[in-house]
Structure 1
Amino acid sequence: MSTQLFSHINTYVSINNEDFEGISSFFEFQNVSKKKTLMEAGTSCAYNYFVLQGCLHMYYTNEKGMERTVQFAIDNWWMTDCLAYLKRTRTDFNIQASEDTKLLSISFEKQEQLLKAFPQLERYFRIMYQIGYGASIMKMKYLFDFSKEEIYLHFTEHYPDFAQRVPQYLIASFLGLTPEYVSEIRAKKRS
Protein backbone atom coordinates (compact mmCIF):
# COMPACT_ATOMS: atom_id res chain seq x y z
CA MET A 1 0.00 0.00 0.00
CA SER A 2 1.59 3.29 1.00
CA THR A 3 4.86 3.79 2.79
CA GLN A 4 3.73 7.41 3.20
CA LEU A 5 0.84 6.45 5.46
CA PHE A 6 3.11 4.03 7.36
CA SER A 7 5.64 6.83 7.96
CA HIS A 8 2.93 9.33 8.86
CA ILE A 9 1.37 7.02 11.45
CA ASN A 10 4.82 6.26 12.90
CA THR A 11 5.40 9.96 13.42
CA TYR A 12 2.73 9.85 16.13
CA VAL A 13 2.43 6.22 17.28
CA SER A 14 4.57 3.13 16.85
CA ILE A 15 3.46 0.38 14.44
CA ASN A 16 5.48 -2.32 12.75
CA ASN A 17 5.40 -3.60 9.16
CA GLU A 18 3.23 -6.58 10.08
CA ASP A 19 0.63 -4.34 11.73
CA PHE A 20 0.70 -2.01 8.75
CA GLU A 21 -0.15 -4.87 6.39
CA GLY A 22 -3.33 -5.37 8.41
CA ILE A 23 -3.98 -1.62 8.70
CA SER A 24 -3.60 -1.01 4.97
CA SER A 25 -6.31 -3.59 4.17
CA PHE A 26 -8.93 -1.17 5.55
CA PHE A 27 -8.13 1.52 2.96
CA GLU A 28 -9.00 1.94 -0.70
CA PHE A 29 -6.60 3.64 -3.12
CA GLN A 30 -8.04 6.27 -5.48
CA ASN A 31 -6.52 8.17 -8.37
CA VAL A 32 -8.57 11.37 -8.72
CA SER A 33 -8.32 13.81 -11.60
CA LYS A 34 -8.27 17.57 -11.13
CA LYS A 35 -11.77 19.08 -10.58
CA LYS A 36 -13.28 15.69 -9.62
CA THR A 37 -15.76 16.00 -6.76
CA LEU A 38 -15.39 13.39 -4.03
CA MET A 39 -18.20 14.60 -1.79
CA GLU A 40 -21.20 16.81 -2.57
CA ALA A 41 -23.24 18.97 -0.23
CA GLY A 42 -26.50 17.27 0.65
CA THR A 43 -25.07 13.76 0.39
CA SER A 44 -23.91 11.43 3.12
CA CYS A 45 -20.33 11.98 4.29
CA ALA A 46 -19.08 8.46 3.79
CA TYR A 47 -15.27 8.73 3.73
CA ASN A 48 -12.20 10.13 5.40
CA TYR A 49 -9.43 10.87 2.87
CA PHE A 50 -5.65 10.73 3.30
CA VAL A 51 -3.80 12.58 0.53
CA LEU A 52 -0.75 10.74 -0.75
CA GLN A 53 0.01 13.22 -3.50
CA GLY A 54 -2.03 16.15 -4.75
CA CYS A 55 -4.45 18.62 -3.24
CA LEU A 56 -8.07 18.62 -2.12
CA HIS A 57 -10.19 21.53 -1.00
CA MET A 58 -13.41 21.58 1.00
CA TYR A 59 -15.93 24.33 0.29
CA TYR A 60 -19.55 25.31 0.54
CA THR A 61 -21.70 27.58 -1.61
CA ASN A 62 -23.32 30.48 0.25
CA GLU A 63 -26.74 32.06 -0.37
CA LYS A 64 -25.23 34.42 -2.95
CA GLY A 65 -23.84 31.49 -4.94
CA MET A 66 -20.23 32.18 -3.91
CA GLU A 67 -17.95 29.25 -3.11
CA ARG A 68 -16.20 29.60 0.25
CA THR A 69 -13.20 27.33 0.85
CA VAL A 70 -12.88 26.14 4.44
CA GLN A 71 -10.01 23.65 4.27
CA PHE A 72 -7.17 22.33 2.12
CA ALA A 73 -5.36 18.99 2.24
CA ILE A 74 -2.04 18.34 0.51
CA ASP A 75 0.38 15.41 0.80
CA ASN A 76 0.07 13.66 4.20
CA TRP A 77 -3.07 15.54 5.27
CA TRP A 78 -6.49 14.14 6.12
CA MET A 79 -9.81 15.60 4.98
CA THR A 80 -13.45 14.94 5.75
CA ASP A 81 -16.46 16.76 7.21
CA CYS A 82 -15.69 15.51 10.73
CA LEU A 83 -19.16 16.02 12.21
CA ALA A 84 -21.08 14.53 9.28
CA TYR A 85 -18.58 11.64 9.10
CA LEU A 86 -18.92 10.91 12.82
CA LYS A 87 -22.72 11.22 12.86
CA ARG A 88 -23.09 9.62 9.42
CA THR A 89 -25.30 12.46 8.27
CA ARG A 90 -25.54 14.65 5.20
CA THR A 91 -22.80 17.19 4.71
CA ASP A 92 -23.05 20.90 3.93
CA PHE A 93 -19.70 20.78 2.14
CA ASN A 94 -18.11 19.66 -1.11
CA ILE A 95 -14.67 18.10 -1.44
CA GLN A 96 -12.96 18.51 -4.79
CA ALA A 97 -9.48 17.77 -6.17
CA SER A 98 -7.58 21.00 -6.90
CA GLU A 99 -4.99 19.01 -8.85
CA ASP A 100 -4.56 15.39 -9.91
CA THR A 101 -4.55 13.54 -6.60
CA LYS A 102 -3.65 10.11 -5.27
CA LEU A 103 -5.37 9.28 -2.01
CA LEU A 104 -6.48 6.62 0.40
CA SER A 105 -10.07 6.54 1.60
CA ILE A 106 -11.67 4.80 4.53
CA SER A 107 -15.37 4.56 5.37
CA PHE A 108 -16.67 5.24 8.87
CA GLU A 109 -17.55 1.58 9.35
CA LYS A 110 -14.10 0.42 8.24
CA GLN A 111 -12.43 3.04 10.41
CA GLU A 112 -14.37 1.77 13.43
CA GLN A 113 -13.25 -1.80 12.60
CA LEU A 114 -9.68 -0.55 12.15
CA LEU A 115 -9.67 1.12 15.57
CA LYS A 116 -10.97 -2.07 17.24
CA ALA A 117 -8.33 -4.19 15.51
CA PHE A 118 -5.48 -1.69 16.13
CA PRO A 119 -6.31 0.32 19.28
CA GLN A 120 -3.04 2.27 19.10
CA LEU A 121 -4.55 4.11 16.12
CA GLU A 122 -7.10 5.71 18.46
CA ARG A 123 -4.21 7.89 19.67
CA TYR A 124 -3.08 8.62 16.10
CA PHE A 125 -6.53 9.80 14.99
CA ARG A 126 -7.02 11.78 18.20
CA ILE A 127 -3.80 13.65 17.47
CA MET A 128 -4.90 14.28 13.86
CA TYR A 129 -8.19 15.75 15.06
CA GLN A 130 -6.43 17.87 17.70
CA ILE A 131 -4.07 19.29 15.07
CA GLY A 132 -7.02 20.06 12.77
CA TYR A 133 -9.00 21.67 15.58
CA GLY A 134 -6.01 23.75 16.65
CA ALA A 135 -5.49 24.96 13.08
CA SER A 136 -9.16 26.01 12.89
CA ILE A 137 -8.87 28.02 16.09
CA MET A 138 -5.70 29.75 14.85
CA LYS A 139 -7.46 30.65 11.58
CA MET A 140 -10.25 32.28 13.60
CA LYS A 141 -7.69 34.27 15.61
CA TYR A 142 -6.09 35.57 12.43
CA LEU A 143 -9.46 36.49 10.93
CA PHE A 144 -10.34 38.46 14.09
CA ASP A 145 -6.97 40.14 14.70
CA PHE A 146 -5.23 40.66 11.36
CA SER A 147 -5.96 43.07 8.54
CA LYS A 148 -6.85 41.46 5.22
CA GLU A 149 -3.34 42.08 3.92
CA GLU A 150 -1.78 40.64 7.09
CA ILE A 151 -3.95 37.52 6.79
CA TYR A 152 -2.72 36.89 3.25
CA LEU A 153 0.94 37.61 4.05
CA HIS A 154 0.84 35.42 7.16
CA PHE A 155 -0.70 32.55 5.20
CA THR A 156 1.84 32.71 2.37
CA GLU A 157 4.80 33.03 4.77
CA HIS A 158 3.73 30.27 7.17
CA TYR A 159 2.24 27.84 4.65
CA PRO A 160 4.45 28.17 1.55
CA ASP A 161 3.55 24.65 0.34
CA PHE A 162 -0.08 25.70 0.04
CA ALA A 163 0.71 29.15 -1.36
CA GLN A 164 2.78 27.62 -4.17
CA ARG A 165 0.39 24.79 -5.07
CA VAL A 166 -3.12 26.08 -4.47
CA PRO A 167 -4.67 28.42 -7.07
CA GLN A 168 -4.84 32.03 -5.85
CA TYR A 169 -8.63 32.22 -6.21
CA LEU A 170 -8.97 29.30 -3.75
CA ILE A 171 -6.55 30.92 -1.29
CA ALA A 172 -8.60 34.12 -1.57
CA SER A 173 -11.79 32.16 -0.87
CA PHE A 174 -10.17 30.41 2.12
CA LEU A 175 -9.02 33.72 3.63
CA GLY A 176 -12.28 35.59 2.98
CA LEU A 177 -10.72 37.81 0.33
CA THR A 178 -11.50 38.50 -3.31
CA PRO A 179 -9.14 37.23 -6.03
CA GLU A 180 -8.71 40.85 -7.16
CA TYR A 181 -7.56 41.92 -3.71
CA VAL A 182 -5.06 39.03 -3.58
CA SER A 183 -3.70 40.18 -6.96
CA GLU A 184 -3.28 43.71 -5.56
CA ILE A 185 -1.38 42.41 -2.51
CA ARG A 186 0.86 40.25 -4.69
CA ALA A 187 1.61 43.17 -7.04
CA LYS A 188 2.37 45.45 -4.06
CA LYS A 189 4.67 42.80 -2.56
CA ARG A 190 6.63 42.44 -5.84
CA SER A 191 7.25 46.17 -6.18
Structure 2
Amino acid sequence: MIKAKAHPFFDHLNQFITVSEKEFEIIHSYVSIKRLEKKQLLMEANGPCNHAYFVLKGCLHMYFITEKGTERTVQFALENWWITDFLAYQKHLKTDFFIQAVEPSEVLSIESESLEKILQEFPKLERYFRVIFQIGYGSSIMKMKYLYDFTKEEIHFHFTENFPEFAQRVPQYLIASFLGLTPEYVSEIRAKKRS
Protein backbone atom coordinates (compact mmCIF):
# COMPACT_ATOMS: atom_id res chain seq x y z
CA MET A 1 0.00 0.00 0.00
CA ILE A 2 1.33 3.44 -0.95
CA LYS A 3 1.82 6.07 1.74
CA ALA A 4 0.01 9.05 0.27
CA LYS A 5 1.19 11.63 2.79
CA ALA A 6 4.85 10.88 2.03
CA HIS A 7 4.37 10.94 -1.74
CA PRO A 8 5.39 14.03 -3.78
CA PHE A 9 2.58 13.50 -6.32
CA PHE A 10 -0.02 13.46 -3.51
CA ASP A 11 1.41 16.74 -2.18
CA HIS A 12 1.47 18.24 -5.67
CA LEU A 13 -2.16 17.33 -6.40
CA ASN A 14 -3.24 18.83 -3.09
CA GLN A 15 -1.66 22.16 -3.97
CA PHE A 16 -4.40 22.57 -6.60
CA ILE A 17 -7.30 20.32 -5.54
CA THR A 18 -8.23 18.21 -2.52
CA VAL A 19 -7.47 14.50 -2.87
CA SER A 20 -7.97 12.08 0.02
CA GLU A 21 -5.49 9.31 0.81
CA LYS A 22 -8.01 6.72 -0.37
CA GLU A 23 -8.59 8.58 -3.65
CA PHE A 24 -4.84 8.88 -4.13
CA GLU A 25 -4.40 5.11 -3.78
CA ILE A 26 -6.87 4.61 -6.65
CA ILE A 27 -5.25 7.35 -8.77
CA HIS A 28 -1.80 5.91 -8.10
CA SER A 29 -2.96 2.45 -9.25
CA TYR A 30 -3.23 3.88 -12.80
CA VAL A 31 0.42 4.99 -12.99
CA SER A 32 3.74 3.17 -13.15
CA ILE A 33 7.16 4.28 -11.97
CA LYS A 34 10.13 4.47 -14.31
CA ARG A 35 13.70 4.97 -13.18
CA LEU A 36 16.14 6.46 -15.67
CA GLU A 37 19.90 6.64 -15.87
CA LYS A 38 21.54 9.90 -16.91
CA LYS A 39 21.14 10.39 -20.71
CA GLN A 40 18.65 7.51 -20.98
CA LEU A 41 15.86 8.12 -23.51
CA LEU A 42 12.28 7.97 -22.31
CA MET A 43 10.65 8.80 -25.65
CA GLU A 44 11.98 8.78 -29.23
CA ALA A 45 10.99 10.74 -32.32
CA ASN A 46 8.90 8.83 -34.88
CA GLY A 47 7.67 6.53 -32.11
CA PRO A 48 4.29 6.44 -30.41
CA CYS A 49 3.47 8.97 -27.70
CA ASN A 50 1.14 7.08 -25.38
CA HIS A 51 2.48 8.28 -22.02
CA ALA A 52 2.74 11.51 -20.03
CA TYR A 53 5.40 11.73 -17.34
CA PHE A 54 5.41 13.42 -13.93
CA VAL A 55 8.89 13.97 -12.54
CA LEU A 56 9.27 12.66 -8.99
CA LYS A 57 13.04 13.10 -8.90
CA GLY A 58 15.59 14.37 -11.40
CA CYS A 59 15.54 16.44 -14.56
CA LEU A 60 14.46 15.68 -18.13
CA HIS A 61 14.59 17.59 -21.38
CA MET A 62 12.48 17.31 -24.51
CA TYR A 63 14.15 18.07 -27.82
CA PHE A 64 14.00 17.59 -31.57
CA ILE A 65 16.76 17.28 -34.14
CA THR A 66 16.84 19.81 -36.98
CA GLU A 67 17.47 18.88 -40.62
CA LYS A 68 21.09 20.02 -40.04
CA GLY A 69 21.42 17.54 -37.17
CA THR A 70 21.33 20.10 -34.34
CA GLU A 71 19.49 19.28 -31.11
CA ARG A 72 16.97 21.93 -30.07
CA THR A 73 15.61 21.67 -26.53
CA VAL A 74 12.01 22.84 -26.23
CA GLN A 75 11.26 21.97 -22.60
CA PHE A 76 12.87 21.00 -19.31
CA ALA A 77 11.10 19.24 -16.46
CA LEU A 78 12.26 19.15 -12.85
CA GLU A 79 10.49 17.67 -9.84
CA ASN A 80 6.69 18.17 -9.91
CA TRP A 81 6.58 18.99 -13.63
CA TRP A 82 4.77 17.11 -16.38
CA ILE A 83 6.43 16.38 -19.71
CA THR A 84 5.37 14.77 -22.98
CA ASP A 85 4.44 15.77 -26.52
CA PHE A 86 0.91 16.67 -25.42
CA LEU A 87 -0.44 17.10 -28.96
CA ALA A 88 0.72 13.63 -30.03
CA TYR A 89 -0.39 12.20 -26.67
CA GLN A 90 -3.90 13.59 -27.01
CA LYS A 91 -4.30 12.66 -30.69
CA HIS A 92 -2.55 9.25 -30.46
CA LEU A 93 0.06 10.27 -33.04
CA LYS A 94 3.75 9.59 -33.49
CA THR A 95 5.93 12.22 -31.85
CA ASP A 96 8.56 14.48 -33.39
CA PHE A 97 10.43 14.74 -30.08
CA PHE A 98 12.83 12.90 -27.83
CA ILE A 99 12.70 12.98 -24.02
CA GLN A 100 15.97 12.25 -22.23
CA ALA A 101 17.13 12.22 -18.61
CA VAL A 102 19.56 15.05 -17.87
CA GLU A 103 20.42 13.36 -14.57
CA PRO A 104 19.32 10.11 -12.89
CA SER A 105 15.56 10.48 -12.63
CA GLU A 106 12.37 8.84 -11.45
CA VAL A 107 9.03 9.53 -13.14
CA LEU A 108 5.40 8.51 -12.88
CA SER A 109 4.12 7.36 -16.26
CA ILE A 110 0.45 7.39 -17.25
CA GLU A 111 -1.03 6.07 -20.47
CA SER A 112 -3.51 8.30 -22.29
CA GLU A 113 -6.32 5.72 -21.88
CA SER A 114 -5.61 5.46 -18.15
CA LEU A 115 -5.72 9.24 -17.84
CA GLU A 116 -9.16 9.28 -19.47
CA LYS A 117 -10.39 6.67 -16.97
CA ILE A 118 -9.02 8.65 -14.02
CA LEU A 119 -10.66 11.85 -15.27
CA GLN A 120 -14.02 10.06 -15.54
CA GLU A 121 -13.65 8.56 -12.06
CA PHE A 122 -12.34 11.78 -10.46
CA PRO A 123 -13.76 14.81 -12.35
CA LYS A 124 -11.92 17.18 -9.98
CA LEU A 125 -8.69 16.12 -11.69
CA GLU A 126 -9.95 17.99 -14.77
CA ARG A 127 -9.40 21.19 -12.77
CA TYR A 128 -5.91 20.08 -11.74
CA PHE A 129 -4.84 19.39 -15.33
CA ARG A 130 -6.49 22.58 -16.60
CA VAL A 131 -4.45 24.68 -14.15
CA ILE A 132 -1.23 22.77 -14.90
CA PHE A 133 -1.71 23.18 -18.66
CA GLN A 134 -2.55 26.88 -18.28
CA ILE A 135 0.70 27.42 -16.39
CA GLY A 136 2.66 25.46 -19.02
CA TYR A 137 1.03 27.29 -21.91
CA GLY A 138 1.63 30.66 -20.26
CA SER A 139 5.31 29.80 -19.79
CA SER A 140 5.61 28.87 -23.48
CA ILE A 141 4.12 32.19 -24.54
CA MET A 142 6.49 34.11 -22.26
CA LYS A 143 9.45 32.22 -23.77
CA MET A 144 8.32 33.32 -27.25
CA LYS A 145 8.04 36.93 -26.03
CA TYR A 146 11.60 36.81 -24.65
CA LEU A 147 12.92 35.39 -27.92
CA TYR A 148 11.36 38.29 -29.84
CA ASP A 149 11.89 41.04 -27.27
CA PHE A 150 15.31 40.42 -25.69
CA THR A 151 18.82 40.37 -27.10
CA LYS A 152 20.58 37.01 -26.96
CA GLU A 153 22.57 38.19 -23.97
CA GLU A 154 19.42 39.40 -22.16
CA ILE A 155 17.68 36.07 -22.84
CA HIS A 156 20.56 34.18 -21.22
CA PHE A 157 20.75 36.44 -18.15
CA HIS A 158 16.99 36.48 -17.72
CA PHE A 159 16.87 32.68 -17.79
CA THR A 160 19.78 32.07 -15.41
CA GLU A 161 18.63 34.74 -12.94
CA ASN A 162 14.95 33.78 -12.92
CA PHE A 163 15.41 30.01 -13.08
CA PRO A 164 18.52 29.32 -10.98
CA GLU A 165 17.41 25.73 -10.31
CA PHE A 166 17.90 25.01 -14.03
CA ALA A 167 21.09 27.02 -14.35
CA GLN A 168 22.63 25.01 -11.49
CA ARG A 169 21.49 21.56 -12.63
CA VAL A 170 21.38 21.66 -16.41
CA PRO A 171 24.56 21.61 -18.53
CA GLN A 172 25.28 24.88 -20.34
CA TYR A 173 25.02 23.30 -23.80
CA LEU A 174 21.41 22.28 -23.06
CA ILE A 175 20.55 25.74 -21.74
CA ALA A 176 22.07 27.17 -24.93
CA SER A 177 19.95 24.79 -27.02
CA PHE A 178 16.79 25.79 -25.12
CA LEU A 179 17.50 29.51 -25.59
CA GLY A 180 18.41 29.19 -29.28
CA LEU A 181 22.06 30.05 -28.62
CA THR A 182 25.31 28.23 -29.33
CA PRO A 183 27.35 26.80 -26.44
CA GLU A 184 30.27 28.98 -27.58
CA TYR A 185 28.16 32.13 -27.34
CA VAL A 186 26.98 31.17 -23.84
CA SER A 187 30.62 30.70 -22.81
CA GLU A 188 31.45 34.16 -24.16
CA ILE A 189 28.54 35.74 -22.25
CA ARG A 190 29.56 34.02 -19.02
CA ALA A 191 33.20 35.05 -19.42
CA LYS A 192 32.15 38.64 -20.12
CA LYS A 193 30.02 38.70 -16.95
CA ARG A 194 32.90 37.41 -14.82
CA SER A 195 35.32 40.09 -16.10
User: What's the TM-score, normalizing by structure 2?
Assistant: 0.96
Mapped to 2, the partners of 1:34 and 1:81 lie a distance apart of 20
Could you tell me which residue of structure 1 aligns to residue 102 of structure 2? 98
Mapped to 2, the partners of 1:36 and 1:46 lie a distance apart of 18
Could you tell me which residue of structure 2 aligns to residue 168 of structure 1? 172
Could you tell me which residue of structure 1 aligns to residue 145 of structure 2? 141
Q: Structure 1: give runs of 5+ residues left out of the alignment.
A: none
Mapped to 2, the partners of 1:37 and 1:55 lie a distance apart of 12
Could you tell me which residue of structure 1 aligns to residue 155 of structure 2? 151
Q: Secondary structure at the match of 1:185?
A: helix
- Asked if residue 23 in structure 1 is aligned to residue 48 in structure 2, the reply is no
> 1:101-120 to 2 correspondence within 5 Å?
101-120=105-124
Spell out, residue by residue over 1:80-135, the C-alpha distance to the aligned partner (whole angstroms, 9 max, x if none).
10100000100110001111001100000110011111111010011111111000
Mapped to 1, the partners of 2:189 and 2:12 lie a distance apart of 35
Mapped to 2, the partners of 1:80 and 1:169 lie a distance apart of 21
Q: How many Å apart are 1:18 and its aligned residue?
A: 1.1
State which of 8, 22, 25 in structure 2 corresponds to 1:4. Answer: 8
Q: Structure 2: give runs of 5+ residues left out of the alignment.
A: none
Could you tell me which residue of structure 1 aligns to residue 91 of structure 2? 87
Mapped to 1, the partners of 2:12 and 2:171 lie a distance apart of 26
Spell out, residue by residue over 1:115-172, the C-alpha distance to the aligned partner (whole angstroms, 9 max, x if none).
1111110100111111110000000000000000000000001101011001100000
User: Identity of aligned pairs, percent?
Assistant: 62
Q: Secondary structure at the match of 2:125?
A: helix
- Asked if residue 48 in structure 1 is aligned to residue 52 in structure 2, the reply is yes
Q: Secondary structure at the match of 2:95?
A: coil
Structure 1 runs of 4+ aligned residues shifted over 6 Å read: none
